[in-house]
Every structure is written in structure tokens, then in C-alpha cells.
Structure 1
Amino acid sequence: MAYHTRSNSFPSRPHPIIQEVDEHLCRLSSSESTSTSSSSISNKLNGLQDLLYCVDRLLQLQGTQQALAQEQQQKWANELLDGCLRLLDICSTAQDALSQTKECIQDLQSIIRRKWGGETGLTNEVRKYLSSRKMVKKSIHKAMGNLKGMKNRSTFSSANKDQETIAIVSKLRDVEAVSLTIFESVLSFISGPKSKPSSWSLVSKMVQSKRIACDEEAKVNEFAEVDAALKSLKSADNAQNQLSNLESCIQDQEEGLESLFRQLIKTRVSLLNILNH
């Protein structure tokens, strides 16, 4: 009796890693419509890192490597590689924006701790911060344009009738799409809402009512809070509190983005190894 053995490729039932990828995709997709508070953004970054970790495991499977290494599929493999590089660029833009903002925050905090350092000194630092924010928003606006261009790329189709190959490439494209959406949320959060609050008191009341209303994620943007507070500065103590909150927020997001950056590099290396095999 002849026995037919399968290679270490995907069986008829979905591989456990593919199921795990699907679960992460589902969780991240369902979170897209929820609050875009700092804690929500941090959770999305952590969730995306978990997803990309699963993707890297998926790329180590022989079935995945065989599918992407096929000559007729290398176009899509190269597109995935290009998409990974673009995600690295967007991640780097977000990191630079956070770093630049944190540096200005620390300068402002230093002035305030020195009992204002003179009205002129504080005014100059506030102007420096607001000017830096304009530069950050300009950089983010450009990155958002590139991001939208990636979203408008052609959808996956293949002349190859191998359903396993089609499923693998389509799944990786789904991962890229979710990654783009999350990075879009991160960049939008750093940039702040387009509508400008009329006064600091209005923002303060909104923040307090949100915090009192529920313990879950409130739609509070720490960047917008500080922007509004500095444009109508009334209390050094209040400004210091807002700056401290924003610095803590930036620290959390920097850690999340740094982990994501490293994971994206690993993913890109895995794709390169497959193409160069």
C-alpha cells in the first residue's frame, strides 16, 4: 500500500498560526471604532505587535515560504516587502514626532520649575513648543498622504489556482491593511483633532466630565489638551500637570512604537530571506 505524505505546508484545515492571526485581526478590527484615547492607542500598538509576532511565525512555515517563493507570486511578495518598508517609514515618522514633542515639553517643564524663569523666558518656550507642533503636524500630514496612497493600492488577485497560496497572500495583505489603519490612528492622535477648542476652560470642563462620566477610555487627547492650555496659559501649576500627563503618554507610545519598529524589521528580514532563498 502506498502512503502519501504531505510536506510541512498548510493542511486542508487552517494552520493554528493562521487561526491565531485571524483572532488578532478580528480584535484589532473591532477596536477601530472605539475611543482614540492614549490608553486605547497604547493597546492598539501592543495588539499590533502581537499580530506581527504571529505573522513572523507564519513566515517561518514551509508552506508560507513555498507559496511566496513561487515565481508567479513574487510580484505580491515584493509588494508585501515594499509595504513593510513603508510601514517602517511611517513608524519612524511617529517616533520622530514624539521625540521632538517630548524635547520641547522637557524645556517647558524646566522653565516652569524655575518659577517661570521670567515671563519672557516662558513665553519664548511656549512659542517654541507651538512652532514645533506645527512642524510635527506638517510632517504627519505628509505621512498620512503616503499612508492613504498605500491603502489605495490594487487588491490582490492571482492567476495561480492554488487556494493555499491565495489564502496566505490575502492574509498578509489583511495584516498590512490593519497595520495601516492603526498607524493612521496613532498619527491622528499625535497631530490632534482638526477642530480647535475655543478656550482652555471648555477643554477642561470636557475632560472633567468625561473622567467623571465613566472609568473606561475617554476620548481625551493629551496633545490637544496641552496645545489648548499653552495657547491660553492661566496657571503654571495647571500647565505643569498637563505637560506631565503628556510626557507620560509619549513615553508609553514611544515604547510601543520602538517594539513595533523592531518587529517590522524582523518581518522584513523574513520576507527578504524567502525571496532570496
Structure 2
Amino acid sequence: MANMIIKKQLRSISLPSRSHPSTSGLEDALNKIKTITTGSSESILMGLAGLEELYNCTEEFLKMGSTQQVMSSGGSEFMEEMLDGSLRLMDICSVSRDLMVETQEHVHGVQSCVRRKKAAGGGDQLDVTISAYVGFRKNMRKEAKKLLGSLKKIDGGSRSYDHEDEHLVAVIDAMRRVESVSVVVLKSFLEFLSQRKSNINSKLASVLKKKKDHHEAAQNELETLDSALCGDFFFHDDLQKDLEEVEMSIGRFERNLEGLFRRLIRTRASLLNIISH
């Protein structure tokens, strides 16, 4: 059901209300993202990679003389809206990237303790490290929910804009759809981080279920690891596999968020350049 909702959101965003030859490249990039779904890390990574490509196209679009002329001459209110949205998106992207870096640090710590315990004991240190990771995950969920709240403050094309200059209207529509797509993709990523299994703190529930059931019930790699860490720690081979999967996914998230952050900076610089001229 969630996948269907996201698909509908992206389809509606990708269909231009008004078109203009100058916006065709940007609309093509928008349409490439409309098939992205939510739920799995792979689909979210595709969405983030799609945003990187979209903002590359956006930067080229903002460098066009015709775009700069029409935006500087008739879109002052709209420009302020875009600048506010770009700043919020940059902040969300930056905090998300930092969360991924911290997650990697915690995962590496657990991996190191698991290897030491497997080789020569050291269960107490493993318990401490796991407790630190579980505590961090709680804070991550809280932070992700705060960022989701910040996303809601971005207009994302919610307001209509009517003007006699059809080129200006087409440019504004295209830029608002870029912002809207960014909100949808980042929302799916933050929901991925903030999901919580009902048995995350219940070791009794994990004892009553087979480890296989935990993997089937988990909706993403982070939840799978949560279940493993709050269950029986002595399945070292399975736990190492869970840790490696999380490490791989988080590393890819970090790289994509870093790439997106850099492109958001360039887009904001282009907007500021248009205003200054």
C-alpha cells in the first residue's frame, strides 16, 4: 500500500501542468524518478541516485540564459521560496549523512567485539557495545522523525502560481516539481531510518520466535540487525552477516547523501547568483 502511495505521488509530480521547450530536459530527469518505490534500501538508493542526476540537470537548467532572465525579472517571491526550501533540504541531507557516519562507527564497534568474542571471549564488552548501538538507534529514530517534521515545512509545489508569462510559469512549475520529488525521496529514506519493530526491546519475543522469522519479519537491514542484537547473540555467523549487510547499505547511503548534498549546494549557489544579477 505504501509503495502505491509513493508511486502515485511521484507520478503526479512528474506530470507538468504547463510545459515549455526550455524545461524539457528537466522534465525528462523528473520522469526517470517516477518509477521509484519505497520500502527497501535498494529502491531508496535508486531514488537518491536519481536525485543526484536530477540536480545535475537542474544546475544546467539554472545556467541557461533564458531561465535566469525570466526568474530574475518576475519571480522574486518564488526565488525566496526556493532558497528557503534548498536550505532545509541541505540541512536534512547533511544531518542524514552524519547519522550514516555515526551508524558506521557503531557497526564497526560491534563487528570488532563479535570477532574478539568469537576468538577469545569478551562477552561483557560485546554487551556494552551492543547497548550503545541500541541506544544510538533510539536516538536515530528521534532525529529522523524531527527531520520528517522539517520536510513537511517545505512547500513542494503546494501553491499555484499564475502569471501571464507562460515561460515563467513553466520554470516555476518545473522547479517546484524538483523540490517535491526531493521531499518524497528523502521522506522514504527517513522513514526507513525511523521504522521500529514492536519487539525491538523484548528479548522474550525473540526467544519465542525462530531466528528465521526475525529475518522474514524485518522490513530492512537495520531492523534485521535490531532483531538479531536483541535476540540470541551467539549466532555469530548470522550476526556478522547482518552487520556486513548494514555496513554495505549505510556506506552507500552515506556516499549518495554526500553527492546529493554537494549538488544541493551548487543549486543554491545558482539561485543566489540569479538573485544577485
TM category, shorter = 0.7 to 0.9
Report the residue type matching 1:242 in the other structure. Answer: D
1:226 counterpart residue number: 225
Deviations 1:151-172 (A, max 9, x none): 47751324x3101001101110
Q: CA deviation at 1:81?
A: 1.2
Q: TM-score, normalised by structure 2?
A: 0.83
Q: CA deviation at 1:30?
A: 2.8
1:30 aligns to what SS in structure 2?
Answer: coil
1:28 aligns with 2:33: yes
- For residues 267 and 229 of structure 2, the distance between their equivalents in structure 1, rounded to whole angstroms, comes to 41
CA RMSD, 1 decimal:
2.4
Query: Which deviates further from its counterpart, 93-102 or 264-273?
Result: 93-102
Q: CA deviation at 1:223?
A: 0.7
Q: CA deviation at 1:67?
A: 1.4
Contact 2:92 2:147 in 1 (8 A): yes
Q: TM-score, normalised by structure 1?
A: 0.83
Please, which runs of 5 or more residues in structure 2 have no aligned partner? 1-18
1:192 aligns with 2:192: no
In terms of Rg, which structure is larger? Answer: 1
Q: CA deviation at 1:208?
A: 6.0
1:14 counterpart residue number: 20
2:212 counterpart residue number: 204
Between the two proteins, the alignment pairs up a number of residues equal to 252
1:113-128 equivalences in 2 (<5 Å): 113-115=115-117, 117-128=121-132
1:66 counterpart residue number: 69
1:75 counterpart residue number: 77
1:8-157 equivalences in 2 (<5 Å): 14-15=20-21, 18-31=23-36, 34-70=37-73, 72-115=74-117, 117-151=121-155, 154-157=158-161
Q: CA deviation at 1:57?
A: 0.6
2:5 counterpart residue number: none
Deviations 1:226-245 (A, max 9, x none): 11110113412211110011
Please, which runs of 5 or more residues in structure 1 have no aligned partner? 1-12, 210-218
1:216 counterpart residue number: none
1:63 aligns to what SS in structure 2?
Answer: helix
Report the residue type matching 1:229 in the other structure. Answer: A
Q: CA deviation at 1:196?
A: 4.6
Sequence identity percentage:
34
